[in-house]
Structure 1
Amino acid sequence: MEERATSSWEVVEISDAAALQDAVGARIADIRASDPLARVTLLVDSSSVGGMLRRQLIATRRCGPGITDLQLLTPSEFVSQLAQRCGVPGPDVTGSLVPTAVVQSVLNSDPGEFAAVKDHESTSLRLSTLLSQTRWCAVDDTAITEVRDVSGATAAAVVGFLERCRVKLRSIPDHSPVWDVVDSVRAALNAYPHLRAAAAAWLGPVVVTAQQVPTPVRELLAVLPVDARSVEFSLDPRQDPVPDGVLDCPDPGTEATLAVRDAARAIDAGVPPEQVAIAYPTNGPYARLVAAELESAGIAWHGSAHVSLSATTPARAVKVLLDMAQRAADADYPITRPLLMQWLGTGSIRLDGGQVRTKELRRFVRSESLHGSAATWPDALRRRAAELEDDGNPTRAAESARQLLGVLSALEQSVRSIAAGRTYGDLARATWEALESFHLTGRSWATDDTERLAVDHLRSLLAERIKALDDLNPAPPTPAVLARLVDDDLGRQRIWQGHMGTGVYAGPIAETIGLHFTHVIVVGAAEGLLPPAAHEDALLPDAARRRLRRIPDDLAVSTDVIDRTAVAYRSLVGAAHSSLVTRPRGALPTGATRTPSRFLPTESGASSNIRVMSRRATFGDTRGLPQSGTSATPAHWPLPASDSDLAVAGLLRNPEEADEGLARLAACERSALYASFDNHHGNLSSDGAAPTWDITDRPLSATAIEEFLHCQHKFFVHRVLKFDTEEPSDDVDVIEPRHLGTVIHTALERLFTAAEEEGWLPGAGEPWPAQAAERLGALFAAEADAVRATGRTGWEPSWRASAELIADTLPDFLDFDTAELRANPGLRPVAAELSFGRDGGSDVGLTLTSGTTVLLSGAIDRLDESADGLTLGVLDYKTGSSNRLAKALREDEREKVQDLVYDVAARQLHPDATQVVVRFAFLPNDGSPEAVHAPALDDRTAVLTEILDRMEEAGLTGDFPPFPRGSRDFCPVCIRLGRRAMRAARDRELRAAEESIEGDRPGHRTGADR
């Protein structure tokens, strides 16, 4: 049954962190009064909190001049190390790997009531968590019966399962349950006085600052000699402190921004950075937001980061190696482009004592369009290396090709060695050897504390601890299972950012118990965050937990989370000289509400109560924060980070009072807040520089013109600014349309070339000869194999289906070509891939209304001609869907201009022709070739001229407005601008309407007139 925590030593209740540190320092000073070097042990809740506490005690000289032999131990470390000194195999405190494996092993061998859900991944996870939480509780048959009585069969089944796991743990060296170890240690200390003396000498007086001291730890402390016992300091703040200021903010991002600004203000006011703390109730989303704001402001900080060791470079390298090994174990080629690119992106890699040029290899893979499985790459790489040699001197690309060959060979050998492992020990050993060979032969990793910690943890895990799983058989040893175990173990190890005690502290409130700071900022002060929402565990409810634990420190119930959060918050804020608390109104994390935290004192009509005012935070507002009735000096909030911020804030209110430089900065800020069609959103005419873009700079392709028609701002970003908005993808599930188009275009072009050289091109309106279909199929197969060798065809089953469909469609296409594309009037093929304006092709120009001549560029897939030479047929091959093309060629919604450009080019290349017919042939088109005929226009040249006139005008005026089309828009530029693009487009439409109205007035001059 649950009891009140009692101790056989002095217990002192403390109100806040400052008082706790004063009391602890005074006690240590008393202990060392006669011997300044006497050993003292601090029993702390966690290593990070203990390290910070020790640093603060030493920095403030609270514990006197002696700073050596101030030992830190957590409750788990205390039991483990005391057991080792007594010769008792102790519990494993290095990680969760073995307990997790034990849970999975028992689920496999004796699942009991969990047989139906044993294979669900959440079952093992939740039971492993409960095994860890209940490690300080003694369990027997009586406890199981009583749990069934108070909580039902499910809770009893959980406790019974956990007891079976403990039985399994007893069979593993150095992993006995805590209560077994405590009983053995207690018996050894009582039986052998010399062990008690040795323990007392090792520990010295024990000062307990940990706020959770479980029963087993208390029992061991009680056995120690009197001179090894000291005092327990228990934090018990009873009242909610009144912060100096409370701000309610629109979202957590604004909270983080204001928190960092307030930290900067405090530092500027003279508070040492190490005496400033930013605390948050939950890691998500505050850990990431606060870290980003601190980094952006250039403020050094330390604390528990929002990432774990699984995010470090060595951990990512291990994951990729094991992913490759799993492919090898599945009888696939282990190396694919996505995995290779991930591995090359893990940082420094060495091969045969030399450095691998990882960045160059990544660029080379992308530039050579190598995709899919790397099994087909070696031949292509050897050919490419030979092609790139120039007069016996290999080029940089040739060197990259050769180095990539060596990397693939060595990597495949290491990965297959991992896959060959038949036990966890073999898998782990081979993985460590691969990591050591490729990533740890240099010393670059040793310069970073986090990377070094990750390497040390991986060395312990892979070289020592993993092999213990071979006796458990939690699951068949495979690279995938090992990857999951490693990731889970590393994921529990949080990274400590920065150097402890250097700069501002930022971390969870729960990790500040006992720490004292001069200025404290707490973010996330909303119900559901501070304190977090409390829910009973469905598998082990509070009633069962109360039956299992002897004292509350043994096992937490749902309400304990609230109580412990209250202690942490009250002791932290109550001890601070100044404090600020913020809460979010919107964008609330899961579980949070708009209600202010219960820890914030609310207004009351009673004059005896201290009132805390709350207001909305507004940038540029310099009124002081409402004060709490204390003597604190009113602070102006929020102060800008720099003089330029102050200038911009003033300019946003009064733009007239500004010099040119500040006015430009203010205009940029205003445009970001209120998007309009100005020089920040595609309208460069206000800059007065002309022209923004010269239409005659280079020949225009149909693609460039179509980009202008789709969205002028996209054209501006891509073609004028030359920014690339496409993100390279290393994953190829199915062949990209452009690659499929290249295969089909090349096969049809080579068919024309072969027929022309061998003299069997069909005449006007005549069918293709019998051998054409077989030749075209062979040409397509050869080209497809070449593309497949680079991995660009994607997932093999999908590609096989696509290739078979195309191969079956090609003979039908030749019949379709004869019956539909070269009939009425009869036409004969005369050219394939007819280039103009590029690749040595003839120039094709078009004179605009202004007299400017614009050159066009492109390539006609196939040009046909009638027997009399008066009719030309332009044929363009398409591999997509024909549904949208007809609409895109309509004059009222024209987005495609290939028919216009090809018409102009065909007439200039064949001036005797009087008629040009443009057709778009779609294949395979689900196995049924189809053609879309471009609309017959009286003068395609005039239509194209009008479009180019608009492009010329845009280039001269700098007018490139966005044209967003809603949620289905595929314009990558408008998607990134989001609502700003829509606002700018609406603003431009309003301006155009106003100019139209003004233009109708007598004597009014339009922009063109001016």
Structure 2
Amino acid sequence: GTPLPKLWPAILAFYRDWCLIPPPPPDAARSLDEALREVSASSIASKLRGRDAVEYLLATLEALRHPHGRHGEPRVFIGTGADAALLRFRAVRVMGAVEGVIPGAPREDPILPDAARLWLNERTPGCLLATSADRVLRETHEVFLAATAAGERLAVSAARQWVDGTEHELAGAMLETAVALGRPGDGGERELVPSLGSLRRLYVGPGNAERARRDAEQPATVRSALRLVARADDGHGAHAVHPAWLVPADALLSLSRLRAIAAERGSAELLRSDGFLGPLAAGLALPGLAAERGISASALGVLLACPHRYLLDSVLSFKPREERLSLREVEQPHYGSLVHRVVERFFRAHGEAFCRRERTLAEWRRIADEAADACFLEFLREYPLAGDGAVEAQRQRLRREVGYLVRAEWDSGTRLTYGNVEVSFGYPAAVPLAVDGGTLHVQGFIDRLDRATVGLVVRDFKTGKQKAREETDVDPVVDAQIGLYALVAPGLMGGEKVARAAYIYPVAAGDAERAFEGAELEDLLRRAREWFGLARELLAARSFPHTADAKRCNYCAFQAVCGTDGAAVSQRKLAAAAPSSVAARFAAIQRATEADDAD
């Protein structure tokens, strides 16, 4: 086996390169490295080899403690019984004390079952492999140590219905706790071993009563709140609510406030609950209104699709709960960022030669494959993929789609003079853009900006579903990004006129572009100024209406906030808005978008 002084640096390097870890503090690897530095320098460390060295590393890591705050300050520790070993607490709560969980049901290792472990233990000197029974015993001891670590208060809780919907009985640990406490029964005598009825009456019952008392003051679930209201019958069919639910009237969960919001939704006027904040939000700093803070193309797309979503996400920073990343596939937006990284590397290194056609398409695709492989290897340090099969499948996917983009560029009928890739604008000061009714300050990055004989060519690479021109007319949500880039590009290239603007999609065959040129481009630029003028006015007025298109709510993370009828309520109110108001103009582009979708 490898000795500890050589084994630990290899493990540390692997950990730094391949493990996704939360940001420090604490930096467990650094703390362990400091603890091992002096030991590794001694001659004794060389005698620790292989499994013994690994066990020493584990023992050292488990013994490490990261100080936080001052001694004596209150802290909450969440962990397993093994994590809490040898620690003392004022109060301890053991959760999930049901059969089959504490301790866990014995499960044999399918690769090395208990019979094989016992055989090896008997015939191999110094071998001591743990069996499933040993694991159950160890977990029982860990729960015992955690329970006895409580200095003032111990709570053991058990949910009768488990997370998978099955019902469980109380764990043996509950019975052992009751035996140790020995509370007297109804007759005043202690039961050496309490019956199940006594266990529920003397130990579980008081805990449930305390929880019911707290629920009466502030219900933790909708179910408990409705149950309390149903019980509060005055004898004439009327139901009262707890006084604490009504005061203060402006409290976040006050029923008075919630009733006021419901009344606003039912009215015909556009009010605060509809996103029309007005002077109340005058102090709210918003992007796009001043040079100090520009607004990006993607943010404009969200604002034009659903201003209320923009308010919740970009202004108030109400971020939806992050879903667990897929271990089999690179998901969006991570995949889109990876493709842009590859394309940027390829064109920065070979853009001029590619535009001059110095090699064949097959040679350029091989070079693009090399760039994709290099970027993918770097990306694996940031994104977890399970198994060599998943890694190889995603590598081939990346090479294939980058190859499609390179081929689409090659097959384009427009001969280009290379300009630049990932062209930034609006940093550090946002770019002032003349739009209908005023000026909007913008910032962002243009994927490709090149020259042709007829003028500038603006391109943006996309990795999502292709939206062909024949399927969707000019759309404020789809085309806001390319429209913004086409408006900004002349100012970045000495005033040259844009002759063509297009999205490029990685498609295996057929037209890979959603392009605008000639009269269509002029129409796009005219409409873009209208859209961005509306966006500027929405921001200036602090007005963030809900979308009127219910299809936009299907996959929105904020649907629970707006309600399932949010789009219908917005459509009803926007239809009644004054014709010249910002709300009516927003309703007009919503209707145009719905008509395009229907076509």
TM range (shorter): 0.5 to 0.7
- Cα gap change, 1:812/1:479 in structure 2, threshold over 3 Å: closer, same or farther? farther
1:819: how far off?
A: 1.6
**What letter corresponds to residue 557 of structure 2 in structure 1?**
P
Q: Cα RMSD (Å) of the superposition?
A: 6.1
Contact 1:899/1:934 (CA < 8 Å) preserved in 2? no
SS in structure 2 opposite 1:934? strand
Contact 1:714/1:962 (CA < 8 Å) preserved in 2? yes
Contact 1:762/1:768 (CA < 8 Å) preserved in 2? no
What is the distance in 2 between the residues matched to 1:673 and 1:893? 31
What is the distance in 2 between the residues matched to 1:515 and 1:496? 27
1:662: how far off?
A: 8.8
Alignment of 1:446 onto 2:81: no
| Partner residue in 2 for 1:875 | 459
| Partner residue in 2 for 1:782 | 374
| Partner residue in 1 for 2:541 | 957
What is the distance in 2 between the residues matched to 1:783 and 1:968? 35
| Partner residue in 2 for 1:703 | 298
What is the distance in 2 between the residues matched to 1:497 and 1:942? 72
Q: Choose the corresponding residue for 2:419, options 830, 835, 844.
A: 830
- Cα gap change, 1:889/1:625 in structure 2, threshold over 3 Å: closer, same or farther? closer
**What letter corresponds to residue 861 of structure 1 in structure 2?**
D
What is the distance in 2 between the residues matched to 1:836 and 1:506? 58
Contact 1:683/1:961 (CA < 8 Å) preserved in 2? yes
**What letter corresponds to residue 377 of structure 2 in structure 1?**
D
Mean Cα deviation higher: 665-674 or 827-836: 665-674
Aligned counterparts, 1:509-528, within 5 A? 514=185
1:897: how far off?
A: 1.6
1:895: how far off?
A: 3.7
Contact 2:85/2:142 (CA < 8 Å) preserved in 1? no
1:587: how far off?
A: 10
What is the distance in 1 between the residues matched to 2:474 and 2:239? 58
What is the distance in 2 between the residues matched to 1:988 and 1:728? 29
| Partner residue in 2 for 1:848 | 435
Contact 1:922/1:929 (CA < 8 Å) preserved in 2? no
Aligned counterparts, 1:253-268, within 5 A? none
What is the distance in 2 between the residues matched to 1:970 and 1:951? 23
Alignment of 1:972 onto 2:561: no
Contact 2:408/2:512 (CA < 8 Å) preserved in 1? no
What is the distance in 1 between the residues matched to 2:58 and 2:29? 26
Q: Choose the corresponding residue for 1:735, options 324, 330, 343.
A: 330
Q: Choose the corresponding residue for 1:903, options 486, 501, 505.
A: 486
What is the distance in 1 between the residues matched to 2:35 and 2:391? 25
Contact 1:827/1:865 (CA < 8 Å) preserved in 2? yes
| Partner residue in 2 for 1:485 | 136
Alignment of 1:715 onto 2:305: no
Aligned counterparts, 1:856-935, within 5 A? 856-866=442-452, 868=453, 870-882=454-466, 884=467, 890-891=473-474, 894-910=477-493, 913-923=496-506, 925=507, 931-935=512-516
Aligned pairs, number? 477
What is the distance in 1 between the residues matched to 2:253 and 2:350? 65
- Cα gap change, 1:908/1:404 in structure 2, threshold over 3 Å: closer, same or farther? farther
Greater relative CO (CA pairs within 8 A, separation 6+): 1
SS in structure 1 opposite 2:503? strand
What is the distance in 2 between the residues matched to 1:775 and 1:922? 20
| Partner residue in 2 for 1:751 | 346
Contact 1:904/1:940 (CA < 8 Å) preserved in 2? no
What is the distance in 2 between the residues matched to 1:625 and 1:430? 71
- Cα gap change, 1:700/1:813 in structure 2, threshold over 3 Å: closer, same or farther? closer
Contact 2:458/2:500 (CA < 8 Å) preserved in 1? yes
Contact 2:246/2:256 (CA < 8 Å) preserved in 1? no
- Cα gap change, 1:747/1:669 in structure 2, threshold over 3 Å: closer, same or farther? closer
1:967: how far off?
A: 10
Deviation per CA, 1:436-477: give whole Å up to 9, x if none.
5569999993124538999xxxxxx9xxxxxxxxxx946748
**What letter corresponds to residue 947 of structure 1 in structure 2?**
W
Q: TM-score, with normalisation over the residues of structure 2? A: 0.59
- Cα gap change, 1:957/1:490 in structure 2, threshold over 3 Å: closer, same or farther? farther
Q: Choose the corresponding residue for 1:993, options 547, 557, 575.
A: 575
What is the distance in 2 between the residues matched to 1:970 and 1:853? 33
Q: Choose the corresponding residue for 2:320, options 700, 708, 725.
A: 725
1:721: how far off?
A: 2.0
1:752: how far off?
A: 2.7
- Cα gap change, 1:691/1:740 in structure 2, threshold over 3 Å: closer, same or farther? closer
- Cα gap change, 1:853/1:401 in structure 2, threshold over 3 Å: closer, same or farther? farther
Deviation per CA, 1:697-723: give whole Å up to 9, x if none.
422211101111332111002222233
What is the distance in 1 between the residues matched to 2:255 and 2:94? 46
What is the distance in 1 between the residues matched to 2:297 and 2:399? 30
| Partner residue in 2 for 1:772 | 364
**What letter corresponds to residue 276 of structure 2 in structure 1?**
N
| Partner residue in 2 for 1:684 | 277
Contact 1:954/1:960 (CA < 8 Å) preserved in 2? yes
| Partner residue in 2 for 1:109 | none
Alignment of 1:819 onto 2:490: no
1:768: how far off?
A: 5.2
**What letter corresponds to residue 556 of structure 2 in structure 1?**
C
Q: Where in structure 2 are there 5+ consecutive unaligned residues?
A: 1-6, 41-47, 67-81, 97-102, 104-112, 119-128, 161-168, 171-177, 216-220, 585-599
- Cα gap change, 1:805/1:496 in structure 2, threshold over 3 Å: closer, same or farther? same
1:407: how far off?
A: 8.5
Q: Which of these two proteins has the greater Rg computed from alpha carbons?
A: 1
SS in structure 2 opposite 1:853? strand
Contact 1:876/1:919 (CA < 8 Å) preserved in 2? yes
1:797: how far off?
A: 1.5
1:784: how far off?
A: 2.0
Aligned counterparts, 1:202-281, within 5 A? none
What is the distance in 2 between the residues matched to 1:622 and 1:903? 66
- Cα gap change, 1:452/1:418 in structure 2, threshold over 3 Å: closer, same or farther? farther
What is the distance in 1 between the residues matched to 2:386 and 2:227? 54
Contact 2:289/2:540 (CA < 8 Å) preserved in 1? no
1:739: how far off?
A: 3.8
SS in structure 2 opposite 1:700? coil
What is the distance in 2 between the residues matched to 1:680 and 1:378? 48
Contact 2:90/2:151 (CA < 8 Å) preserved in 1? no
1:941: how far off?
A: 2.5
1:433: how far off?
A: 7.8
What is the distance in 1 between the residues matched to 2:186 and 2:277? 56
**What letter corresponds to residue 573 of structure 2 in structure 1?**
R
- Cα gap change, 1:378/1:670 in structure 2, threshold over 3 Å: closer, same or farther? same
1:900: how far off?
A: 0.5
What is the distance in 1 between the residues matched to 2:441 and 2:239? 60
What is the distance in 2 between the residues matched to 1:1007 and 1:875? 32
| Partner residue in 1 for 2:123 | none
- Cα gap change, 1:704/1:434 in structure 2, threshold over 3 Å: closer, same or farther? closer
Deviation per CA, 1:390-412: give whole Å up to 9, x if none.
xxxxxx989959727839989xx
Aligned counterparts, 1:221-620, within 5 A? 376-378=14-16, 403=30, 406=33, 420=51, 435-436=62-63, 445-450=87-92, 473=114, 476=117, 481=132, 485=136, 489=140, 514=185, 618=229
1:946: how far off?
A: 1.6
- Cα gap change, 1:441/1:981 in structure 2, threshold over 3 Å: closer, same or farther? closer
